Amino acid sequence: MATARSNRRYDDLVKLAENLQRDPQLELRIQENVCVTCFYTERGQIVMNAFHHQPCGLCLTPQIYVNSRTDVLCLKCANEHSLCKHCGADWNLDSTREFDPKEKSSGIGSEPSP
């Protein structure tokens, strides 16, 4: 029993690793404006259904979410800068990329953070 469960988890993780490397749902992922990591690891995550308010981490436009899966960026900013709307990472996880947000507005805004 425990072995079967462990086997299943093993298979799931191998599958997950494959998905992370191959990015088989690239088109859908880009449509949803999220990075590889968020797309494949946060599917099926348990969410709390309640309204959540959170400003966009870049333009500070207030965002309203119907559950606890809030995003750090609004769709417009995510699109404009090719960033993951959920965590703010580069779409292709290019860590060499320099990101330079327009001048920070007076203290209210903070860097995108989870």
Which residues contact Zn ion (rule: CB under 5 A)? 35, 38, 56, 58-59, 74, 77, 84, 86-87, 89
Shortest Cβ 71–Zn ion spacing (Å): 9
Q: Which is nearer to Zn ion, 40 or 86 (CB)?
A: 86
Q: Which is nearer to Zn ion, 7 or 67 (CB)?
A: 67
Shortest Cβ 89–Zn ion spacing (Å): 5
Cα–Cα nearest to 50, from 71, 70, 67: 67
Contacts of 77 (CB under 8 A, 6+ apart): 56, 57, 58, 59, 83, 85
Q: Which is nearer to Zn ion, 7 or 105 (CB)?
A: 105
Q: What is the DSSP letter of 83?
A: B
